[in-house]
Chain A
Amino acid sequence: MTNTKTFKRSKTARLIMMVPAAGMVLAGCGEKPVEVQVFNSQDECAAYYNPPAECKAAFDDAKALHPQVAPRYASRQECETDFGTGQCETAPVLAANNTVPTEQTQQSQQSSGFFMPMMMGFMAGQMLNRGGMAGAPQQQTAAANRSPVPNQPLYKSRDDRSTFRTATNTAVASQPGSTSIRPSAVQPKPAAMARRGGFGAQAAQRNVSSNGG
């Protein structure tokens, strides 16, 4: 049989988000704890039989997030009161750190006039559950796509040098290695406040039903 006809239409047209697949249940209440790992350093992470490249990736994520989420203090002294002498550094202007660091942005980092604690460790939230995402896109949903626990920096307070804490002061572990946490308790939040509502005025003013055409 020779069937050489080429069609002018899509081979399939399916929807995964607009049409929930049968049997797919929306996430209920009762958040399940997930397993994450916390470490003082990349080397320590690798010593726990993790692939060094993944340790480095998680560390780099945390390092990049650090200036965005670390608590900010108006003076070094206030910062050191919470985190200890010599444990604080100047906080950069946020925009310079918002992008993937390039040489230019690193060189042009300006001080914001604020101070923040130094990063004392990191949480690897994605090391254990990364596999298979690329292979099965049809099973992805918006919710599943968002890793429940982002890799993030950890801090240690002046009084308690063994406990790892998130940027929002949630204690997560008192020793390196695996620990179990609720994802909602460890979602990093940027320290700076955003201005909002800067787009959309024209649509409101013109009162159109669509902004397309």
Chain B
Amino acid sequence: MKRVNSTPRPGWKAFAQSVGFNFHTFDGEPYWDESAYYQFSLQQIEQDLEDPTEELHQMALDLVDDIISDEQKLRQLQIPSQFWDAVRASWRSKEPHLYGRMDFSYNGTGPAKLLELNYDTPTSLYETGFFQWVWLEDQLLRGELPQGADQFNSLQDKLQQAFAELDLPQPFYFASVTESIEDKGTVDYLMDIALQAGLNSRYIQLEQLGDIDGQLVDLDGFPVQGLFKLYPWEFMLQEDFAGTILTSQTQFIEPLWKCLLSNKGILPLLWQKYQGHPNLLPAFFDDGSALQNGWVRKPLLSREGANIELVTNDGKALKQDGPYNDSGYIRQALAPLPQFNGNYTLIGSWVVADSAAGICIREDNSLITKDSSRFLPHIILD
């Protein structure tokens, strides 16, 4: 694994705009960054990332039964008790899931360490599955990359296959929050793939969803029988339509049981069950005491690095503020992100259905990866 400087394609920004990538620059700072790429060996990809991703995914799925049959665990994850039965029902009736992403600390050697699961509303999907793929093809054509360079990125193929095989109700609706350009981009991408898979797909703003007699309905008042929502379950469970979730005849993607796995409480539960697993870091539910050197504190429910606090091995404290300060916390042993050229590098590894489907790389100037962290492409070359 190494970081290689690279010449950005001339005019890539205009191209990005033309293919719907409207968030390539974030508050004036680059988000998509092709001034460098990461290079992996095939062995690094397959043995250190792909295989562990699928194994960890199965370990996480195996935990669901443990959690739903143990009220203490449901309480530790702060799942509201009025939804316990619905969570159990969604798992026991095998409601299918679509995708997720796990984040790793990995420097090219030794086992990748699982930092967290983003199993409900993972984003950076379009950048990974489409824009990164096009970058590779372009740079191969232009002779800027060695012939034979490949990429661990079967994301779009696997998503299309999943949409074709899931047998979803149609029309199938996709919803995101009106204000977020990034979320709309992600949902547009998924809808595009779903259309290509032959699914009758429609967009609805999340805020426009209606309720008639406990049934979710679209703008015309027709029942929404299938819904992809790029909106966290823990929010939905505390909003005005929370009760509608219990009565509406709607198949959700991701399904309700995913709220167990997107919760950081899954990290201590994984450690309890599989203590010592090479890809896991020691993790515990937080007791509120001061953080020791080499530990991280994370909210049960947060995203984009918000509200994370850590103390490095040599005692340096680092804290990221954010809007997710209203849940409990876990603590996890610190696996500091490796540094390449002064950048801290995080690897996101995608899962579609139950298969590993590719990686994305984020760089930040700090140990905590955030929404604004740069996205860099990668190649596989032996």
Report which A residues bind B (CB closer than 8 A). 7-19, 68, 93-95, 98-99, 133-134, 137-138, 140-142, 145-146, 187, 189-190, 192-213
Q: Which residues of A contact B213 (CB under 8 A)?
A: 93-95, 98, 192
| CB pair B249 A200 closer than 8 Å | no
B336 contacts partner chain A, Cβ-Cβ < 8 Å:
no
| CB pair B239 A200 closer than 8 Å | yes
Distance A10 CA – B350 CA, assembled complex (angstroms)? 13
Q: Which residues of B contact A208 (CB under 8 A)?
A: 180, 303-304, 306, 323, 371
| CB pair B198 A200 closer than 8 Å | no
Min CB distance, B355 to chain A, in Å? 12
Supposing A99-B223, A146-B200, A211-B230 touch, asked if A195 and B19 sit within 8 A by C-beta, the answer is: no
Supposing A95-B212, A189-B220, A202-B238 touch, asked if A145 and B201 sit within 8 A by C-beta, the answer is: yes
| CB pair A211 B183 closer than 8 Å | yes
| CB pair B303 A212 closer than 8 Å | yes
Distance A91 CA – B165 CA, assembled complex (angstroms)? 37
| CB pair A207 B323 closer than 8 Å | yes
Report which B residues bind A (CB closer than 8 A). 18-20, 42, 45, 118, 121-124, 129-130, 133-134, 136, 150-157, 171, 175-180, 182-183, 186, 188-189, 191-192, 195-198, 200-203, 206-215, 217, 220-223, 225, 229-232, 235-236, 238-241, 244, 247, 249, 303-304, 306, 323-324, 358, 371, 380
Supposing A15-B19, A203-B235 touch, asked if A10 and B153 sit within 8 A by C-beta, the answer is: yes
Q: Please, which residue of chain B has its CB at the minimum distance from the CB of A189? A: B220
| CB pair A209 B217 closer than 8 Å | no
Partner of A210, one of B153, B157, B304: B304
Distance A14 CA – B206 CA, assembled complex (angstroms)? 27
Q: Which residues of A contact B175 (CB under 8 A)?
A: 199
| CB pair B249 A99 closer than 8 Å | yes
Distance A110 CA – B130 CA, assembled complex (angstroms)? 49
| CB pair A196 B123 closer than 8 Å | no
Distance A15 CA – B18 CA, assembled complex (angstroms)? 11
Min CB distance, B127 to chain A, in Å? 12
Q: Which residues of B contact A19 (CB under 8 A)?
A: 18-20
Supposing A207-B323, A211-B232 touch, asked if A141 and B195 sit within 8 A by C-beta, the answer is: yes
Q: Which residues of B contact A138 (CB under 8 A)?
A: 196
Distance A146 CA – B208 CA, assembled complex (angstroms)? 20
| CB pair A94 B215 closer than 8 Å | yes
| CB pair B221 A192 closer than 8 Å | yes
Q: Which residues of A contact B186 (CB under 8 A)?
A: 212
Partner of A209, one of B155, B222, B230, B371: B371
Q: Which residues of A contact B179 (CB under 8 A)?
A: 203-204
Distance A193 CA – B211 CA, assembled complex (angstroms)? 9
- Count of A-B contacts judged by CB separation below 8 Å: 209
Distance A17 CA – B208 CA, assembled complex (angstroms)? 22
| CB pair B215 A95 closer than 8 Å | yes
Partner of A8, one of B201, B208, B229, B380: B380
Q: Which residues of B contact A194 (CB under 8 A)?
A: 210-212, 217, 221
Distance A57 CA – B241 CA, assembled complex (angstroms)? 34
Q: Which residues of A contact B196 (CB under 8 A)?
A: 14, 16, 137-138
Supposing A9-B154, A207-B323, A210-B304 touch, asked if A196 and B239 sit within 8 A by C-beta, the answer is: no
Supposing A10-B153, A142-B195, A211-B180 touch, asked if A195 and B211 sit within 8 A by C-beta, the answer is: yes
Q: Which residues of B contact A141 (CB under 8 A)?
A: 195
| CB pair A199 B215 closer than 8 Å | no
Q: Which residues of B contact A206 (CB under 8 A)?
A: 323-324
Most chain A beta carbons < 10 A, residue from B152, B229, B231? B231
**Can you offer 29 A-B residue contacts whose CB atoms are under 8 A?**
A8-B152, A8-B153, A9-B153, A12-B156, A94-B213, A94-B215, A98-B217, A137-B196, A145-B195, A146-B202, A189-B221, A190-B221, A194-B211, A198-B209, A198-B240, A199-B206, A199-B229, A201-B239, A203-B179, A203-B235, A210-B183, A210-B304, A211-B177, A211-B180, A212-B123, A212-B124, A212-B303, A213-B123, A213-B304
Min CB distance, A8 to chain B, in Å? 5
Min CB distance, A106 to chain B, in Å? 14
Most chain B beta carbons < 10 A, residue from A13, A138, A141, A195? A13
| CB pair B153 A211 closer than 8 Å | no
| CB pair A202 B235 closer than 8 Å | yes
Q: Which residues of A contact B197 (CB under 8 A)?
A: 137
Q: Please, which residue of chain A has its CB at the minimum distance from the CB of B182? A: A210
Most chain B beta carbons < 10 A, residue from A12, A68, A190, A199? A199
Most chain B beta carbons < 10 A, residue from A14, A18, A146, A207? A18
| CB pair B121 A213 closer than 8 Å | yes
| CB pair A199 B241 closer than 8 Å | yes
Most chain B beta carbons < 10 A, residue from A192, A203, A212? A212
Q: Which residues of B contact A201 (CB under 8 A)?
A: 235, 239-240
| CB pair B180 A210 closer than 8 Å | yes
| CB pair B215 A98 closer than 8 Å | yes
Min CB distance, B341 to chain A, in Å? 25
Distance A174 CA – B189 CA, assembled complex (angstroms)? 46
| CB pair A213 B239 closer than 8 Å | no
